[in-house]
């Protein structure tokens, strides 16, 4: 039975239908511009606008909707790894609510909390702290999002966040060296570090593809479409257009670079014996000409593109694959 993955991005809505599993067999890929520029509708007007956009997309294209899978931006969750004195499961269960209040900036009434023990010292060792991952979700936002689908007659089967979907699509094994994963979209760049088969931390920086386009519009006096086109054709190439596109883009690009450096430093502070030697990039903005080379040269680190369709068969698109990692991850989940 085919499944449908939907990723509502601030630039584009992506929909893929496939036979799900580790090697998804792709039936159909649809991508449309999101003219509303928001991916997490909160007020009634936004819910109506985005709802109608998605509704038309699904019903006009006769997209199967028995098994609809959704991935949401990281901003609806707040996660934190805490170090606390070793506790038994029962002790932890009763202490966790209080810990969440200290570390998760979501009001108690709106908080849905999950937690996972990442590290527990050997029995009898009371000196070494245990490490626990707290994940808090904003109930009110998730409810609104799900209700938007329910009112179309669709009951989503999977709801998770972008980083989880993308990591599944990458299939990084516990034996692999520490890896930073960057999802560069239109609004957000998610930064996640994976090591020993665990997500060590995730944070999100705001101001990516749409900001690059806007900067070009302002500095070079272009309209939106022209700016988008110049960005995609010339990117950071110093030989195009007398380097004027490159120069206009560089300050924003360098902000991204310093965010990556911040994550590198944080990793080193957590794991002084290890080196963060690898970055994997995905998302539409990772395709900016010259971007990967620029980051790699500035940081002296190896950068690879994700290959979201590596194991897929069927109607695999030949272009713009990096915008589809979230959908592929959703389709690779086995329920």
Ligand X SMILES: Nc1ncnc2c1ncn2[C@@H]1O[C@H](COP(=O)(O)OP(=O)(O)OP(=O)(O)O)[C@@H](O)[C@H]1O
State which of positions 252-311 bind ligand X (CB under 6 A).
283-285, 287-288
Q: Which of 2, 9, 41, 86 binds Mg ion (CB under 5 A)?
A: 9
CA-to-CA distance for 31 and 323, rounded, in angstroms?
9
DSSP 74: G
CA-to-CA distance for 130 and 88, rounded, in angstroms?
10
| Residue with smaller CB distance to Mg ion, 13 or 249 | 13
| Residue with smaller CB distance to ligand X, 129 or 290 | 290
**Residue 171's Cα: distance from chain center in Å?**
15
CA-to-CA distance for 98 and 288, rounded, in angstroms?
44
Hey, is 219 helix, strand or coil?
helix
204 contributes a contact to ligand X by CB under 6 A:
no
Hey, is 54 helix, strand or coil?
helix
Task: Identify which range of 4-12, 97-105, 251-259, 302-310 contacts Mg ion by CB under 5 A.
Answer: 4-12
161 contributes a contact to ligand X by CB under 6 A:
no
State the CB neighbour count (10 A cutoff) for residue 107: 11
Min CB(185)–Mg ion separation in Å: 4
- Show the binding pattern over residues 139-178: x = contacts Mg ion (CB under 5 A), - = does not: ----------------------------------------
| Residue with smaller CB distance to ligand X, 32 or 95 | 32
Hey, is 272 helix, strand or coil?
coil
CA-to-CA distance for 315 and 335, rounded, in angstroms?
23
| Residue with smaller CB distance to ligand X, 79 or 323 | 323
Q: Which of 10, 137, 179, 264 binds ligand X (CB under 6 A)?
A: 10
Min CB(4)–ligand X separation in Å: 17
Min CB(312)–ligand X separation in Å: 18
Task: Identify which range of 126-134, 206-214, 215-223, 272-280 contacts ligand X by CB under 6 A.
Answer: 206-214
Tell me the C-alpha to C-alpha distance, in Å, between residue 243 and each of 164, 250, 297, 299. Answer: 38, 10, 18, 22
221 phi and psi, to 5 degrees?
Answer: 60, 45
232 contributes a contact to ligand X by CB under 6 A:
yes
State which of positions 173-202 bind Mg ion (CB under 5 A).
185
Min CB(209)–ligand X separation in Å: 2
323 contributes a contact to ligand X by CB under 6 A:
yes
CA-to-CA distance for 139 and 76, rounded, in angstroms?
9
147, 70 in Cβ contact below 8 A? no
Per residue, the 3-state secondary structure of 290-329, as one string, reads CHHHHHHHHHCCEEEECCCCCCCEECCCCCCHHHHHHHHH
Count the alpha carbons within 13 Å of 93 in the hemisphere toward its beta carbon. Answer: 3
| Residue with smaller CB distance to Mg ion, 10 or 200 | 10
Min CB(68)–ligand X separation in Å: 18
Give me the residues that bind ligand X (CB under 6 A), please. Answer: 9-12, 39, 185-188, 209-210, 213, 228, 231-232, 283-285, 287-288, 323
Question: Which residues here bind Mg ion, judged by CB under 5 A?
Answer: 9, 185
């Amino acid at each position: 039975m085919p499944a449908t993955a939907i990723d509502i991005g601030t630039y584009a809505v992506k929909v893929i239908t496939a036979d799900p599993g580790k090697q998804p067999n792709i039936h159909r890929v649809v991508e449309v511009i999101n003219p509303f520029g928001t991916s997490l509708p909160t007020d009634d007007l936004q819910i109506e606008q985005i709802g109608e956009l998605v509704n038309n997309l699904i019903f006009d294209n006769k997209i199967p909707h028995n098994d609809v899978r959704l991935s949401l931006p990281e901003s609806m969750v707040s996660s934190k790894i805490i170090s606390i004195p070793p506790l038994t499961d029962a002790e932890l269960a009763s202490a966790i609510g209080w810990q969440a209040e200290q570390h998760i900036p979501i009001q108690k009434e709106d908080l849905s909390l999950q937690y996972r023990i990442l590290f527990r010292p050997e029995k009898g060792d009371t000196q070494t702290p245990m490490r626990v991952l707290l994940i808090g979700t904003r109930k009110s936002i998730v409810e609104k999002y799900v209700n938007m689908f329910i009112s179309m007659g669709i009951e989503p089967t999977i709801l998770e966040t972008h980083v989880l979907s993308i990591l599944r699509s990458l299939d990084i094994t516990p034996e692999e060296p520490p890896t930073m994963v960057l999802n560069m979209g239109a609004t957000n760049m998610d930064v996640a570090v994976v090591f020993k088969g665990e997500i060590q931390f995730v944070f999100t920086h705001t101001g990516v593809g749409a900001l690059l386009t806007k900067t070009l519009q302002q500095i070079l006096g272009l309209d939106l479409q022209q700016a988008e086109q110049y960005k995609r054709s010339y990117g950071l190439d110093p030989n195009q257009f007398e380097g004027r596109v490159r120069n206009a883009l560089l300050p924003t690009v360098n902000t991204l670079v310093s965010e990556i450096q911040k994550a590198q430093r944080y990793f080193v502070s957590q794991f002084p014996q290890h080196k963060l030697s690898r970055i994997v990039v995905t998302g539409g903005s990772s395709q900016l000409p010259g971007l990967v080379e620029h980051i790699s040269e500035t940081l002296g680190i190896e950068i690879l593109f994700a290959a979201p369709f590596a194991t897929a068969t069927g109607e695999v698109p030949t272009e713009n694959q990096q915008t589809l990692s979230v959908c592929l991850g959703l389709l690779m989940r086995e329920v």
